[in-house]
Amino acid sequence: MPARRTIGVDLGGTKLLAGAVDQRLGVHHRAQRTVSGLQQSVLLDVVVDAVTEARESAGAEVAAVGFGIPCLIDRRIGRVEVGVNTPLADLAFGDVMAERLGLPVFVDNDGNTAAMAEHRAGAARGASDAIVLTLGTGIACGLILDGRLYRGARGGAGELGHMVIDLHGPACQGNCPNRGCAEIYASGTALAREARQLAEVHPSSGLAAALNERRELAGPLVTELAHDGDTAAIEAVSLIGARLGIVITNLANIFNPEVVVVGGGVIAAGELMLAPARSVVAERTLPFLHDGLRIVPARFGVEAGMIGAAALAFDGLEGRPPAETRA
């Protein structure tokens, strides 16, 4: 059989990453786009453009496209209902993409696709019960329970970024009507916000210098400064790590996983973030549930969602579950 590939697309709140992926989950070409602030029609055009680039540079036949998108998808009718950090809503996204791309299309939540990649070949491989968190604009989550990806009654399970951790906290972002949600406190967006505040508190810090130079204090720059030893940046990363520990404590007490995998852009901070998280989890989790729990970085890093989306497409072509994620 000639080599074939699928295109995996991870669509986030601010960035899109598409890649041509082979059946061994090797990536052969990557296409990136900025998508923040786009209206739905323009966003769809950008998606098509990125997939076209990846397809033309794939080096082999492309058989299908898989998408991981930050949306609630009603799997009973195959429709994007609403996205918290994206303009996509009330849209048969897969049908639209299939028509525009001329290829079979398979769609799932971005937290689920990241979990698929990490469970199949990454940091959660071999685990019967695992949670994969992706920290970006918000917090995406995928649940592996008893060896299977858990989607819930309508396909919306895993929105753990919207678990309330502060009853009277600030309003959540995007289309979420809630207050005090986890992603307000422990996402990449939260890291950038805390970094800006700490830059003002520490005017001689590297964070302040970057702010004065009008550089964007987003996750990559903050983590870079933290690794370089800037104390204000380390404080910002450590704070987000401690809050992440609160989130993981709740998840450990609810789901009793073997492993919690942390991915997304902010995991570039590595142990500067994970060590404070582990410390909080050790202090606050029920001892029986903490025993044996591992908290580890994602093997595929920021590419987990993209690689998982490509795997989703291969599964769909072969008629294996989760074929019901066709949208």
Find how far residue 1's CA is from the centre of its chain.
Answer: 33
Q: Fold identical between 4-111+303-325 and 123-298?
A: yes
Structural domain spans, the chain: 4-111+303-325, 123-298
| pLDDT reported for residue 212 | 92
Tell me the pTM: 0.91
| pLDDT reported for residue 236 | 97
Alpha-carbon span 249 to 284, nearest angstrom:
6
Tokens of 177: 């009507």
Phi first, then psi: give them for residue 291, nearest 5 degrees: -60, 120
Q: What is the pLDDT of residues 137-183, one digit of tens each?
A: 899 999 999 999 999 988 889 999 999 999 999 999 888 999 999 99
Alpha-carbon span 306 to 325, nearest angstrom:
16
Alpha-carbon span 319 to 304, nearest angstrom:
22
In the chain, which residues have pLDDT < 70? 1-2, 76-78, 320-327
Find how far residue 75's CA is from the centre of its chain.
Answer: 20
Q: Is residue 135 a contact partner of residue 187, using CB atoms and an 8 Å limit?
A: yes
| pLDDT reported for residue 77 | 66
| pLDDT reported for residue 320 | 67
123-298 in CATH: which number?
Answer: 3.30.420.40
Alpha-carbon span 109 to 93, nearest angstrom:
12
Of 35, 37, 30, nearest to 12 by C-alpha is 35
The CATH architecture that domain 4-111+303-325 belongs to is 2-Layer Sandwich (3.30)
| pLDDT reported for residue 13 | 86
Q: List the beta bridge partners of residue 6.
A: 21, 64
User: Is 29 in a helix, a strand, or coil?
Assistant: strand
| pLDDT reported for residue 326 | 32
